[in-house]
Amino acid sequence: MKCHTKMALVKITLLLAVSISFGLTMVKDKDSIKLAIVLQPVSGSRSGPEMSQGPQVMYEGVKKMLAEMGIEEAAKEIVKLTPEEDKDYGVWHRAGLANGHLNETVARLSKEEMFPLGLLANCNSLTGMLAGMQHSGPGRRPLSVGLIWLDAHADYNTPETTLSGMLGGMPVAVAAGKCLFRLRLKAGLEPAIPEKNIIMMCVRDMDPLEEELVLNSHITLISTEEMIKLSRRMKEEYKKLCDRVDVVYIHIDLDVLDAPDIPGHTFQIPNGPNPAQLGKALKYMMRNPKVGALGIASFPTQEEVRTKSLGSTLEVIKGALLGLQAR
């Protein structure tokens, strides 16, 4: 009896050891992140450089931060036009073509079970990122995509409502099918994103006719205060969105931050969140497995302000990656 008892105890001990070992292995695999970084430098801007240095500057900082966090960079992709496309007429047209390449890149990386982090020239890359999410599923059917829009501006102007004429003030309206249909189709975003699947957070500067469009739409607006506090309403609206779509894309224009935290940005709007507050909100949102990609746009590249702006940007991205690790 004693011999059998000893043998039973040995078996139990071995089983426990195997179970513990297997559990640790599973945790390690679960915590590993296959992060793919996608640089999209084509700006679509008529008033500034067509190619932005912002994505590359952000990448250098992100690369160092990943090493510190123990996260492996699984892939790096740079969106480029073909030599023939580069000769095509029209800055907006070339931006549409670049977004088509962005779509293909993001979709491919997602299908390879990598998480795309888009480092984007500006918000004109929105349609490319959304299209990539839309086509990231296993079959030919486009996925339903939800958009979390973190920006001081709604970017919901159309050519009829805009005061500036900037394409950068229209990308959400383009993505929602309100204008510039050919530009959206060049990116491969079809169908357009339903307004009910768009949540805007921290928007605090809209043109008069643009504001009228937003307020008469089915877009959900979450204030800066609600986002900072992770209010009950913010959490409920976020959960409802995640529950009804296949995949969620989170887009950040860095002017969403409070003006002193992002010096050099073309549009500095007061009363935004600081990097820690935005990072905390992203950590919460990124824990949801429905989030399939994150985009960071509009980094100010001036040498004299780059250090502070990059520090703010990295703090925001770190919050998001901590949420991704916590899944």
- Model confidence at 161, pLDDT cuts 50, 70, 90, reads very high
Mean pLDDT of 102-116: 98
> At residue 19, does pLDDT exceed 80?
no
**pLDDT score of 266:** 84
**pLDDT score of 160:** 96
pLDDT tens, 115-132?
999 999 999 999 999 999
Nearest 10 degrees: CA dihedral of 24, 282, 245, 76?
-70
% the chain with pLDDT above 70 = 91
Mean pLDDT of 250-277: 95
Mean pLDDT of 130-139: 96
Inter-residue contact 291 to 325 (CB < 8 Å): no
% the chain with pLDDT above 90 = 83
- Minimal CA–CA distance to 311: which of 252, 261, 251, 250? 261
Mean pLDDT of 97-117: 98
State how far the alpha carbon of 59 is from the alpha carbons of 42, 112, 296, in Å. 15, 21, 11
**pLDDT score of 18:** 33
- Rounded to 10 deg, the angle between the 91-111 and 126-134 helix axes is 30
Nearest 10 degrees: CA dihedral of 202, 277, 300, 222?
-10
> At residue 202, does pLDDT exceed 70?
yes
Mean pLDDT of 40-59: 91
Q: Give the separation between CA 194 and CA 178, rounded to whole angstroms.
A: 10
Q: Looking at the DSSP assignment, which residues form a beta bridge with residue 192?
A: none
Q: Give the separation between CA 193 and CA 227, rounded to whole angstroms.
A: 23
Q: Which residues contact 323 (CB under 8 A, 6 or more apart)?
A: 282, 283, 284, 285, 286, 287
Q: Which two tokens stand for residue 138?
A: 């296993």
Instruction: Parse the chain into domains and list their residue ranges.
Output: 36-325
Q: What is the pTM of this model?
A: 0.90
Q: Which CATH superfamily is domain 36-325 in?
A: Ureohydrolase domain (3.40.800.10)
Q: Give the separation between CA 119 and CA 53, rounded to whole angstroms.
A: 11
Q: Looking at the DSSP assignment, which residues form a beta bridge with residue 296?
A: 119, 252
Q: Give the separation between CA 150 and CA 250, rounded to whole angstroms.
A: 8
Q: Give the separation between CA 91 and CA 97, rounded to whole angstroms.
A: 10
Mean pLDDT of 52-57: 96
**Alpha helices, DSSP H only, in 32-90?**
54-69, 83-86
Mean pLDDT of 294-318: 94
> At residue 20, does pLDDT exceed 80?
no
**pLDDT score of 48:** 79
Q: Which two tokens stand for residue 93?
A: 């047209």
Q: Which two tokens stand for residue 281?
A: 């909100």
